[in-house]
Amino acid sequence: MAKWTSTDDTASVVPFVKIDSCQQLEETFQFGEKLGEGAFGSVLLALRISDGHKFAVKKMVKKKDPKTQYGKSWENEIHVLSRHRHPNIVAVDAIYESENSCYLFMELCDGGNLADELQRRTQFAEQDARCTLRQLGSALSYLHRHRVVHRDLKLHNCLLKRIPSAKTTDGSSPRFCRRRGEAAVDRKGSPATHPCPFVVKLTDFGLSIELRVSDQSLGDNVGTPAYQAPEIVKCSSYTEKCDVWSLGIIMFSLVHGSLPYSSRSESDLIDEIKDFNYGRLCNRCKTCSELSAECRAALSHLLVQSAVDRWSTSEFMDSAWVTEKSGGAREGNIFAMMRNMNRTGDK
């Protein structure tokens, strides 16, 4: 048995096991329903026969040509998930590899994904969006400190793991707010001590890349169009700041209830991304006026056309909206915020 050790002291060694065929796994695990299907593999439910522990197993077929994006994807996923651990990144328990396939045994996230949750609730209250984005921002900050760029951050790649033991101040189970401005409370009306009844887990690292040096720029056009940063759709070089834009799109979607675009075709969507201006959108969007100034300021710094002017993940995590403290990051000056929101000018 070979083992890959992590570059991070907090991460454990991930067992890496060579097998002849899938039949060997069936001696130890019982496979169940399909949990999902992605561009680079399918995910199945698996039960370890010895103790009944459940896993989500991602099966990826190994392509012969490593130069193709599919051929690289399973290697990318293994490389990142075997070397890095974080509370908000899906954990890998073991990796099994046969001649033609690779099996990632990952922790089971039983709450669906953020896209499902948003569809169920139609819109997140700021408090709920905040506790969700804190977790995503923490995962991204960790990845970027370790020179890993995700490149496919989106609602569907944010899994949710329920916390059945989470309790409010009176011992009742917490609930999520369904309407904007409705606070999470316990039965006595006191603020809930656990506003998030789930842990957010970032997943799907098939398009991720680990930079050789911190200031390395990238050039390949990858990712999901609606979440791609302007520099990617413009076919310009880009850095880890592309993930920050995607984080902004997720934040916008949660607090507004939809993506910020109205295009029906991919070509029109690309044009809309190239011309996107959050300040201009806010001027004609009723939902914007119902958000806090701190929330609008954070979005205005995440959704900036220029990657140089866009916040880093650490600046986002230090912002007044995330910390709920005044004077965070750069948005303390309201005039600077307004200049940033209208940087590209009204058209």
Catalytic annotation, residues: 152
CA dihedral 204, 61, 103, 158 (to 10 degrees): 10
Return the H-helix or E-strand segment holding 83: helix 69-83
Q: Is 167 exposed, middle or buried (0-12, 13-18, 19+ CB in 10 A)?
A: middle
SS3 54: strand
Angle, in degrees to the nearest 10, between helices 241-256 and 293-302: 140
- Say which residue the tokens 């070397």 belong to: 83
DSSP string, 195-213: --SEEEEE---TT-EE-SS
63 is in an annotated binding site: yes
Asked if 171 and 193 count as a contact pair (C-beta separation under 8 A), the reply is no
* Binding-site sequence positions: 63
* Binding-site sequence positions for ATP: 63
